[in-house]
Structure 1
């Protein structure tokens, strides 16, 4: 193009050679698509790569073939560049195709022998450069390229928007092009536009354009959760990437994504310090369960075996790994073997992460897979008279102690074998100093797999020293663990301070635990270990100074369960504590009080006495730390109850006492039919009917839930259809060739469908009954009761902080963000939730600025359209609204500190005003529910004459009263008088004198709460 005058420019042709527009290659098209964002170019040129020197940028462009250096190897950054050289840079930068055999210009020496001609013709064909003199057809390939000429070429190539009224020192025709290049970060604003461009300026501009061509860079990333990462790009856009596979914690992982038609690969790491979730539950054998978390745990709760339940199993111990990220649950040696390759479940409860920000309480299903035979993991010589063998997994005692299963140097062991559950044996045998070979065979693990005969080399050294104490760790004043430097065979006597203070000793390799009969001192103690002997026969007396760490933590209640027992389904309350309890305090009835939802003591009903204490003495299970309160009575499921616990002590030396504890609960009621929910689906050529029971169900024997003959649906047998378990409590009936329902039946929204199931047992082997009948029933319309979503049955207001939501199904995953409440034109979002044991009730909690208002008139619970809360089969909760019930649980309240007592214009008449938390109205004359007292009765009040709400403020309650006359004078109030005003709650709650003004008159009225408070009389000034 011509850059000489604006007239020449206006006359230039806009057509491409041959009348056809040439199509740039894909690389240029991509550049043009992203070049519209000015800020991106600026960021690339002067942001992310500001640290690169011009030389480094030149080297990068040279490697791409865009620039060439000089023969002496230098970049010549201070030199200028010709128009022909610049044409080559543009061709290489934009990946244009060179044009051979075409010569459009008449410059001297321009032709087939001119090295620059293919590049000049290429930029001419793309209408990027067309010469200095269009009339004479001169390109001036040896002329120097100016800064403003460079600006125009790049701006045209990138199709940048031209600014209006550009003010700079460029030539008139170039002002807008130069300004556009500056704004885009291609050229410095301090450059002289009319000067010849230096190679430094061209390198900087070309590098910025090349970086834009490659697309924006990743500046940073943020891991939102294990499957979501947000990348912030150099163009300041944020790209949200959802992963198919969850990120592993603290492991670098490559993430691929596309942004602006470009593919990116970036390494990310999900950094987790304190655990936020359970990553996996695995079992490589039938005796150990490994629970892996995504971060670290608090050791105390992580190693408390009461915080775990493996279904139908008893736990021996729980060990936290050294990195505090996983626990290994060891089951008891006898009678607690999981079934190999059969799904079971683990409950984790009240395990806290290391910083205390999260407590884990959830259930995980897993399948033990034991396919490996036990192996010898380690052999350790214990002097010349014994050696220790450690196996890779728990092994059975009978095989482990059989000396015939061990050979040393080819000879069968004749000595005895000691077994330490789960995987350690000590073989007693005289051995010479030096190397030996152990052969082990016929060792069986608890799934029945036998070890493959293997040889293991080990070394025996002379041992002439008795065990030495390495450390001692206390647990309060009675329990002590001593660690020695080698395996201990026996101890003659172990006591503290005086010889009579002995205890029960247990051995586990090099660790010895003792539980003393008498407490150690709360201070310095000397622990004496008499005759500690190793397996070489070395014996010595040892002692260690111990200053016990006292247990100063109060006992806590981990969980309250409400259960039904007996033929009458009476209720019992089961409290699980976090530690051992003093039995007398745990079974003392006065430590437990049952109240109604308003906090009033239940008297002589529901299994309690006149003070609300259980009539029957509670029982205490020391093994599980559980207290059971049998009420021998049936609680109502139509109301809430409150259980209060005080005075329960632990067994620690200081007898720590529980902090006063209370919890509101709802009495569990067994489903009348035993069927929680049933739902119908169709698609992919099949129909499915799901049946969810209240319990996990039996799948074999006479009570099996998988016997088709036990089902009737729509008055038809299902024997021609498939039936399978999809979870422990849910059955799926599938129809392909023979349909469960016809199209007409599915379309009929008025038809009621009925399901019945007969003679089925739960997983415990008990028949589930419908009253006295063995037939369970469920009925309703297909688009309602049988719908493929979980409906909200009711949403009951508990308080301004809680709403209890009952669902027509069991929830497995809860996202609290799926729910919100609307009332009086505002919405409120819960911050946390609690779920009932059976998964059907969700308690939403509202705190801080999201606390519910004092009036919930017309309030509704909403489930958002994008709901993710679902059951174990990913059936979602039904979106929509549910009116709130029990609105009178949230009542306007008096602000006690706001009471003010002042005189009126009438002699001996006064008014007390008090602010209320919500709008109220006086619906009936309310004078009779108030009493006013002055100085505790020293001055007499005649009567309350009027109760009203201020005409200017519906949150201001006004109580007017008069003072009684005495013969000859009036009794007046002075500034020294204190006035007590009381409104009786019970009267107002029953008769609704003063009520929530926001409740329509046609709806049940919500009464203001009663109050009693005192204020000093204020005289008029």
Structure 2
């Protein structure tokens, strides 16, 4: 059989060891070589007829190719067995693998074995594996059997493995050996468990070398993240275009085909340009440092529009000289909070070769523990000098001239502050060397500078300032940088002298905002009368190509808040950048929907969920206040925002935005619960707030002097915060000013707390006051204060405090078994969920376990020993509560038609409800009902209630045709507003919901 008749492709084959274990092989050459080694067992069969060279000659060819070597005495040793170690070397050499210097096996002296690096290379490629996987033994001196390689042969050639076998191989190998015999690759009757000789291995290896040798990859070059060029061993270059871009500096496998062969080669896209943000930090409260993992383009990296810091405003951005670090300076009126997590959003920053635009949001925590220092002192001629601090410092401290001493004498001269870290002291000094001492200057975390002497030199200055650089932010703002500090200027304009701008000075920079925009082409900006601190004056000009703002505004956050006086809710929406007042205050740009996706309507919202009142935009905070004019339930709502545009010269419109929010607790519930408890000789008051409270600063909640019980201050008490939202006040020396009844039970007691902040620093208020009041409850057990069925599948249970753990099986609904109310049944909820405030538990009932719509006299029951409890582990009370019925009833699908008068074609349409039926106003009931016959709307003559749950609608037909259809629709939205058709006017007064009922006249006609 000819060697060249075999074709190998990169498929998943397996090599089987003596224990029958399989390992998937990944490479074409691995499979081909393993198959070739299998041929060595049966060389006389498979290759004997076509072999042109003797085994010795073949050995010499392979030896010249560096694949095999002889023994030290010069012999080939072809009659000897081939060991697993020798096989490993032949494999590695044949397919040109690099030896691997690792140690994966535990054989004795393996670490020093001559073939270890070959074994490791063949192991990593999945070609060879150990004899004992559990003990990690390879057995380098062990031999390879015929049957092991027969299995490899069968898989390589995809031979069919027969179910019937007749050979002496081991049980696991019989099928493979039989397949090889049937295919003519293996002689019958030989010892299949025998070891292979080096002669057989050479014959097979030579056949592989001659017939299956393929070019290898000699080198590769990554042209860019999506294009790689491979240089093959035959000199050809293969260009590979990738669908997925390579990750920078990460080894990745690339597959390609060359001369009908499939290759997989590992490549690494080595690049020094940035691919992502590596880290974000803030060592002071005014600067955020963004470090990229490589170099970035200066223009986009220094564009302040490309950064958003949570709840802050960006003043400017400076890129380091190595182009890897961007330092974001916050605006003068905004400051980070020390050791409070924040985040920065980086967008539209290009790496240096423009192959990637970085979009990433990273969280960071500012940590300011370093005191400010003097970074440098610069003489500005003989009339002033400049002090540059190591970080932003507070303006009020910089202005005090008494904080500066030159040569031991306090400075007598005015001080200018250039945000964020520059002080310019206007004081005449002689030329020469001086020493400066600065004191009492604080950074924005309150750390004060240490008084240290700093040497500096004063020299004459006779040259006017010169422009170093100019850059733009959109079409209306430029930043001009000079080579020295600027004292004054006359005018800055572009194009013609009338196109002036408002100028803000910052040391050696002028930030200019023009009323008339720059052109999109190159512009010349003129700076007249620019003067330094030595009085040198000149006119300068600079050319700039503006950067156009193309970033759409986005919504940073949406919060639901409550008015302190009315209790109505309102939305506070913060945008990522300044937006136009006109679009921000358009009421139809804001929509409120409930969790079912339906528009919320009410006192202050129209039928489409838009507010009636005009929203209010605060340009300083980039926030819009949307008054809803209604009090939302404690539930989840969807807020949609659309069509808001920014203030860029070419306005950018936001993409539609949607977010789920939860309504806040009602006003008056700043304190959710106060309860009294005796534990041994300790008397304890627990005060639970609706949110987590501060434990430091002015608004801390763990100070005894902030609490009054029955108008009296507390003495000899310990106060601490437990569970984040609960304050524990305990004592062993008094009764905490509590009033007790004559029988020893707790009387009526009032507690107040004042000036308490939540963890975000917001003061808690009650009815507009910072004094919060509540009643002390005698029991530590949470009680249900309201239970209401909002639908047949949902019951909302409100507690008088927060629960922490819960289970639906603690609750039961005892409901009427029918509309007569003569019997009851118990319905058990299927699941439960807790609101974000911990106050309201929602019990859910599935489709097969619904509540009845009629709930007259229904109760919510709690099991005897409930596991639902608060954060202290105290179980809820098991008292029963009335179950309020807020279920909107429905009419069923059955429509009955009865004849009233055949002569004038008057008929009654009868609807049957799942609850009682009552009519509050007949005229309104006619308006919320619509009856059609054959598509034509009929006039409703009358509407009345019949029986306990049936509604009768009387109509006249123009022509009676039993093949035509009736359609009846109850308009639920209108009925919900007017409540004209309800379940029970005396009690629940729930409006019937939308229903459409139809049917063919002949099918529903009742004579």
Q: TM-score range by the shorter chain?
A: 0.3 to 0.5
TM-score (norm 2): 0.47
TM-score (norm 1): 0.46
